[in-house]
Amino acid sequence: MNTFNKEILRFNDPEKAANNIVQKIQHTVLETLKRNGGVIGISGGIDSSVTLALAVKALGSKNILGLILPEKDSNPESKQLALKLSDAFGVQTIEEDITQALEGFGCYRRRDEAVRSIFPEYDPCYYKMKIGINQTGLNQNLPPVFSLTIIDPAGQNKSKILPAKEYLQIVAASNFKQRCRMAMLYYYAEQKYYAVIGTPNKHEVNQGFFVKYGDGGADVMPIGHLYKNQVYQIAEFLGIPKEIIERTPTTDTYTAEQTQEEFFYQLPFDEMDLIWYGYENKIEPEIVGKTLNKSEREIKIIYSNFERKQKTTEYLRTPPII
């Protein structure tokens, strides 16, 4: 009997699902790690918001510290929504602007050097920039091809294929941002004898959409098993502010606006959740395709893309080898 359907990831009881996570946080932080509370980096996004709300239920608002860690490329809306979240759940926040630290690492200089090697006219005071994957649909089974886009104040953009050398330099430089944030999270965690509570969801963990020893650096990841749709279900139950729930997930890494779908996933979350479930549970592509009104070939190609991402990002999930 075929049980695969569009509602297969819907919780029968969101409260029970949330309480299971709450109990896991309590056990992990208080008993296993023997810490007094939790530090969470909050960005105004859905994942960090749900993680904070669950941690508050588990450990109490007085034992949670929310860190807001902007830098000069950050969208101001991220801070506004993070403050709205902390007010809603009664959590103390501390803001640490990490721009100077990133300048010390040469984050912006190294990134812009690579951008100018593709677009000599690039000036970060004039242009905005972003990188993204050029492939969708039936091209997803091929190795990813990244493009670099610069956008002038009038909104006119120029794009070019990004060679591997420049791509790696831009990514390596940009990853200073997540690693700097991790360092700040652990500063406050050690100061307060707290645990660092990470915010990645299932797709970020399994597909490798995180920075090793950056946003992947944490003591516990309470929502690392949740599909994106399930994160939203729990957000509704927990009363996450509407503006956060309705906000399109973004990378908030480059100066130009960019969705996570555009940068990495190549699929809308509602489709990706179900196709990943099918892939992980070895459901025939034909069955998944019929449910989502896609061809068997399309699903096979997406399965292949998932498999490639898992294999190529296994390094990120591998702990130090002794």
Q: Angle between the 14-26 and 46-59 helix axes, to the nearest 10 degrees?
A: 70
Helix (H) / strand (E) element for 147: namely: strand 146-151
The answer to whether the CB of 142 falls within 8 A of the CB of 305 is: no
Strand, helix or coil for residue 113 = helix
- The Cα–Cα gap between 17 and 143 comes to 37
For residue 167, give both structure tokens. Answer: 């791509």
10-residue stretch averages of pLDDT, the chain, 322 residues long = 86 98 99 99 97 99 99 96 98 98 98 98 97 68 83 96 96 98 99 98 94 97 98 98 94 88 85 96 97 95 93 95 96
Backbone angles phi, psi at 94, to 5 degrees: -130, 135
The alpha-carbon radius of gyration of the chain (Å, integer) is: 20
Predicted confidence (pLDDT) per residue in 229-241, tens digit = 999 999 999 999 9
pLDDT (0 to 100) of residue 181? 98
Judge if pTM exceeds 0.85: yes
- The Cα–Cα gap between 283 and 299 comes to 11
Beta-bridge partner residues of 158? 150
For the chain, domains (ranges, CATH) are: 14-97+176-263 (3.40.50.620), 104-169 (no CATH)
User: What is each CA distance from 6 to 229, 275, 292, in whole angstroms?
Assistant: 11, 10, 8
pLDDT (0 to 100) of residue 264? 81
The answer to whether the CB of 301 falls within 8 A of the CB of 140 is: yes
- The Cα–Cα gap between 298 and 259 comes to 22
- The Cα–Cα gap between 205 and 213 comes to 13
- The Cα–Cα gap between 289 and 129 comes to 36
